[in-house]
Chain A
Amino acid sequence: MTEQSDPTALLTTPLDQWHRRHGARMVPFVGYAMPVQYDLTGDLAARCRGGVLAEHLHTRAQAGLFDVSHMGQAMLTGPNVAAALEKLVPGDIAGLKAGRQRYTLLTNPVGGIIDDLMVACVGNDHLFLVVNAGRKDVDFTHLTANLPESAILTRLDDRALLALQGPEAVTVMARLSPEVAALPFMGVASVSLHGIECLVSRSGYTGEDGFEISVPAAHAETLADALIGHPEVVPAGLGARDSLRLEAGLCLYGNDIDELTSPIEAGLTWVIGKRRKMDWDFPGGLVMRDQLDNGPPRRRVGIRPDGRAPARASTAIMAEDGTEAGIVTSGGFGPSVNGPVAMGYVRRDLAADGTRLTLIVRGKAIPATVVPLPFTPHRYIR
C-alpha cells in the first residue's frame, strides 16, 4: 500500500509490481493505480502485441487475465442472513443454493440503484459479496446500517480478485482443477489452485465464458504468474475490460446506472426475483412496480452510430424531429464489432429497435440507430 499519510496517494492492488514488470501503463481509477493496457514483451508479446485493441481481441479469441482486486470483497454471515439481505435488494437471495451466485442490486427508496453486486452463497448463512471499487464504502456502510445486528459483514481487504476471461479460460482452469472447470455458469466453489486456497466463480464482465478468482493477497502474484504461464493467456487491462463489457451490453455503475436510474429503466427487470414481485418489499419496490405497469419514462438501449466516429458518454441524443431524446451513458469503439457502439437512455417512445436517432458529436449531427443489446453475443456456459 502507498503512504497512508498522503490522502492523494493512490491505493495499489497486490499485483501492482507484477503489472509494472509486465509493461502495464498504470492510471488512476477510483483511487487505485490500475493497469489500463500493457506493452507486452517476450513470450507474451508473441501471443498478443498488447494495447487495448489487441488485449480485447485476444480475450474474445483465447483468454485475458484481468486484475480486479480494486473491487470490494466481503463475507456476510449470521442467522438467516439471506432473508435479511433481501430487505435491501430485489433479488431472490433466500433461494440461492450453496455454490450459486447471483447478480443483484442495492436499491434506494426512490427506485434508484446504490450499486450492482454479485452475491454468492458459499455455505449455510454465508454470503460472499463483490461490489464496485468506487462504491465499497457507500455499500458497506449501507449494509451495516440497515442489516440486523446479527448480520456480520467482514471486509476481505486481504484478498485479490483475478478474472480469467475468454473461450479458452476453461481449458486453462481445467489444467489446474477439473472441479472448477466443471462449474456451471454462476457456480461458485472453494478450491485449491497451485496449492493456494481460492474462491472461484464462473462469471465475468466480458460476455465470454470465464472465471473470477478470489485469492489471498500474498499469493496473488504466484497465481497470476501461473495463469500467464499457459500459452492461451495474456494480461489485459481496464481499457479492454471496458470495451468488452460495453460490447456485451453490461452496465457500468456510475455511467449506465446510478442512484437516479431504476432497474426497470436500465433493462434490469430480470434482476427482480419472481417471488419478490409478489410483495415488492425492497427499497423502491413500489416505484419499480409502477414503472413496470405503466412503462418507465426512459429506457436504456443499444445505439449504433452511422460511420466510424465513436459517440462517448454524455453525448446528447436527439429524435429525428429535433426534440431531445436522451443521453449516451457509455460509448466508444467496439473492437469485435469493428465500429462505434454506445448505450444510453432515450425516451420510452424512441426505445424500439430500429428507431433512428441523431447524436450530437462535437457539434455535428451523427445519425444512429437503436439496436438490441448485446452488440456481441454472450457466450456463457449454460
Chain B
Amino acid sequence: MAKKDSDKRYTRDHEWVVLDGDIATVGITDHAQEQLGDLVHIELPELERTVSEAEACAVVESVKAASDVYAPLAGKVVEINETIAEDPSIVNSDPEGEGWFFRLELDDPDSFETLLDQDAYDEFLETL
C-alpha cells in the first residue's frame, strides 16, 4: 500500500483523491463546487472504462455551464456514485464525502505520490 487511507491528494483541476490499496476514490473539491455553484446534472463515466491521466471522464453542469471532471491518474473505472447522478446537490453539500464521483483501479498506485498534498493544493488555490 502506497499511503494510508486518510491521506488525501489533489489535482490542479480541483479533483481530490483518496487511495485504498490500488483503488482511488475521486471527487471534486469544495473549492470546485463553490466555484461551479448549484449543480443540476452530472454525467459519470461508464464502468470498466479505462482512462488516462487528465482525461475528461465526467461532466458537471450548473445552471450556467458545463465543466469537465478529469481522471486524476490512469486506471479503470470500477465503481461510480449513482446517488449524485440522481441528486447532484449532494456534491454541493458534501463534495469531499458523500459527493464522491467514481473509483479507479490505478494502473500504478505509486502514481498517487505525484499528486498535490493538502499544503501544495492550498498554495495553488492562493495563486488563483
Task: Report the count of interface residues on A (CB-CB < 8 A).
Answer: 19
B41 touches A52 (CB 8 A): no
Chain A residues closer than 8 Å to B66, beta-carbon distance: 310, 312
A101 within 8 A of B: no
Chain B residues closer than 8 Å to A37, beta-carbon distance: 37
Task: Report the count of interface residues on B (CB-CB < 8 A).
Answer: 12
A243 touches B43 (CB 8 A): no
B41 touches A332 (CB 8 A): no
Taking a contact as CB atoms closer than 8 A, the residue among B37, B38, B43, B63 that contacts A309 in the complex is B43
B40 within 8 A of A: yes
A52 touches B61 (CB 8 A): no
A56 within 8 A of B: yes
Q: Which residue of A lies closest to B86 (CB)?
A: A308
A310 touches B40 (CB 8 A): yes
A36-B64, A52-B63, A333-B63 in contact; A310/B37 too (CB < 8 A)? no
Q: Measured between alpha carbons, how far is A213 from B10 in the docked complex, in Å? A: 47
User: Residues 286-310 of chain A: 1 if any B CB is under 8 Å from the residue's CB, otherwise 0?
Assistant: 0000000000000000000000111
Minimal beta-carbon separation of A19 from chain B (angstroms): 16
User: Residues 113-137 of chain A: 1 if any B CB is under 8 Å from the residue's CB, otherwise 0?
Assistant: 0000000000000000000000000
B41 touches A333 (CB 8 A): yes
Chain A residues closer than 8 Å to B37, beta-carbon distance: 37, 51-53, 239
A78 within 8 A of B: no
Minimal beta-carbon separation of A45 from chain B (angstroms): 15
User: Residues 237-265 of chain A: 1 if any B CB is under 8 Å from the residue's CB, otherwise 0?
Assistant: 00100110000000000000000000000
Taking a contact as CB atoms closer than 8 A, the residue among A53, A308, A362 that contacts B63 in the complex is A53
B54 within 8 A of A: no
Number of A-B contacts (CB under 8 A): 43
Minimal beta-carbon separation of A176 from chain B (angstroms): 31
A309-B41, A309-B43 in contact; A333/B59 too (CB < 8 A)? no
B62 within 8 A of A: yes
Q: State the main secondary structure of chain A at its contact with B.
A: mixed
Give residues 51-80 of B contacting A (CB, 8 Å): 59, 61-66
User: Residues 308-352 of chain A: 1 if any B CB is under 8 Å from the residue's CB, otherwise 0?
Assistant: 111010000000000000000000110100001000000000000
Minimal beta-carbon separation of A203 from chain B (angstroms): 24
Question: Which of A54, A309, A335, A340 gathers most chain B CB within 10 Å?
Answer: A309
Chain B residues closer than 8 Å to A53, beta-carbon distance: 37-38, 40, 63
User: Residues 27-50 of chain B: 1 if any A CB is under 8 Å from the residue's CB, otherwise 0?
Assistant: 000000000011011010000000
Chain A residues closer than 8 Å to B64, beta-carbon distance: 36, 52, 239, 242, 332
B63 touches A332 (CB 8 A): yes
B59 touches A52 (CB 8 A): no
Q: Measured between alpha carbons, how far is A242 from B37 in the docked complex, in Å? A: 15
Which residues of A are interface residues toward B (Cβ below 8 A)?
36-37, 51-54, 56, 239, 242-243, 308-310, 312, 332-333, 335, 340, 362
The 7 closest A-B pairs by CB, nearest first: A53-B38, A333-B40, A52-B63, A308-B41, A333-B63, A51-B38, A51-B37
Could you jot down 29 A-B contacts, CB within 8 Å?
A: A36-B64, A37-B37, A52-B37, A52-B38, A52-B63, A52-B64, A53-B38, A53-B63, A54-B38, A239-B37, A239-B63, A239-B64, A242-B64, A243-B63, A308-B41, A309-B41, A309-B43, A309-B61, A310-B40, A310-B41, A310-B61, A310-B66, A312-B65, A332-B63, A333-B41, A333-B63, A335-B63, A340-B41, A362-B59
